[in-house]
């Protein structure tokens, strides 16, 4: 896991993650020894894209070719960071059940596939990952939640990734209008997998709450405030969130925001 986290070049990271997943499935990875390694607070990443504050990332409009390339680049950057987040969830937190490590290595493998699909499509538009500026907000949240897997499960899968589920239908509409049907296909794959990723986060958040005698829905709302999480803004993809493990009371609460 550490080798994959430290890999800087995208192609090397993707290849490392796929090999790691194959080794895991073959029984060649010991989750106890791996998870107990020293945490890696600064995983490998390429020199480009240039990192800028979120408010300085240029606006991305899908109705122009440069805007569509910038949009796809932004999605690829999210997926690249998501690889590191999934690896970190498996590597950083010791003492969890074996199924926890299996889940997060599977997520890392799928995030690597998503990145590869997006970067390959970006090349058909004359661009590559690194061509546009990007921000580091996702990894910032990894560091903010590095001390506790319960907080990580609440605020990364159930907030950041769930926001991606909310945004996907709007992005699909824009790409369909731009007649980029290959990107529509890619986003269908990503949405299917991301529902599973949020569901994994929901499962382990619930498991950790039960282990600590906490009520999940109450604790989730408390954590949103305590950690100044990104605001939850409608429209919400309630069907995707339901499939990803959000309870009916939570969906009712979201519907009233």
- Mean pLDDT for 122-133 is 95
- Mean pLDDT for 118-129 is 96
How far does CA 223 lie from the centroid of its chain? 19
- Output the pLDDT for position 146: 95
What torsion do the CA atoms of 103, 108, 113, 116 make, to the nearest 10 degrees? Answer: 170
- Mean pLDDT for 211-215 is 98
Residue 239 pLDDT grade (very low, low, confident, very high; cuts 50, 70, 90): very high
- Output the pLDDT for position 51: 86
Q: Give SS3 for 144.
A: helix
Q: Give SS3 for 147.
A: coil
- Output the pLDDT for position 136: 82
Does residue 154 have a pLDDT over 60?
yes
- Mean pLDDT for 69-85 is 95
- Output the pLDDT for position 118: 98
- Output the pLDDT for position 192: 97
Domain boundaries, the chain: 2-255
Closest CA to 11 of 103, 123, 90: 123
Q: pLDDT tens digits for 166-194?
A: 999 999 999 999 999 999 999 999 999 99
Residue 205 pLDDT grade (very low, low, confident, very high; cuts 50, 70, 90): very high
Q: pLDDT tens digits for 31-69?
A: 766 545 788 999 998 999 988 887 777 777 788 898 999
**Average pLDDT value over all residues in the chain:** 93
- Mean pLDDT for 139-164 is 95
CA atoms within 13 A on the CB side of 142: 22
- Mean pLDDT for 66-81 is 94
Q: 28-32, 103-107, 176-180, 230-234: which has the highest mean pLDDT?
A: 103-107
Dihedral (CA of 67, 69, 75, 80) sign: negative
């Amino acid at each position: 896991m550490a080798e994959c986290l430290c890999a800087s070049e995208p192609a090397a990271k993707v290849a490392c993650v796929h090999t790691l997943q194959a080794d895991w499935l073959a029984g060649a990875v010991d989750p106890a020894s791996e998870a107990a390694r020293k945490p890696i607070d600064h995983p490998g990443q390429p020199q480009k894209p240039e990192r800028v504050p979120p408010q300085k990332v240029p606006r991305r409009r899908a109705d122009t070719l440069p805007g569509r390339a910038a949009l796809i680049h932004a999605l690829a950057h999210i997926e690249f960071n998501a690889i590191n987040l999934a690896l970190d969830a498996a590597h950083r937190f010791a003492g969890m059940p074996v199924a926890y490590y299996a889940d997060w290595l599977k997520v890392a493998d799928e995030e690597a596939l998503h990145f590869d699909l997006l970067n390959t499509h970006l090349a058909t538009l004359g661009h590559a990952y690194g061509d546009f500026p990007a921000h580091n907000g996702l990894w910032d949240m990894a560091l903010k939640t590095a001390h506790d897997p319960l907080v990580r499960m609440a605020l990364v899968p159930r907030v950041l990734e769930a926001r991606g589920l909310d945004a996907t239908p709007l992005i699909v509409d824009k790409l369909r209008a731009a007649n980029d049907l290959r990107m529509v296909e890619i986003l269908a794959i990503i949405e299917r997998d991301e529902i599973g990723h949020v569901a994994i986060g929901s499962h382990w958040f619930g498991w950790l709450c039960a282990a600590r005698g906490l009520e999940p829905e109450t604790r989730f709302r408390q954590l949103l405030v305590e950690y100044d999480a990104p605001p939850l803004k409608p429209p919400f993809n309630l069907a995707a969130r339901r499939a990803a493990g959000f309870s009916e009371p939570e969906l009712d609460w979201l519907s009233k925001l």
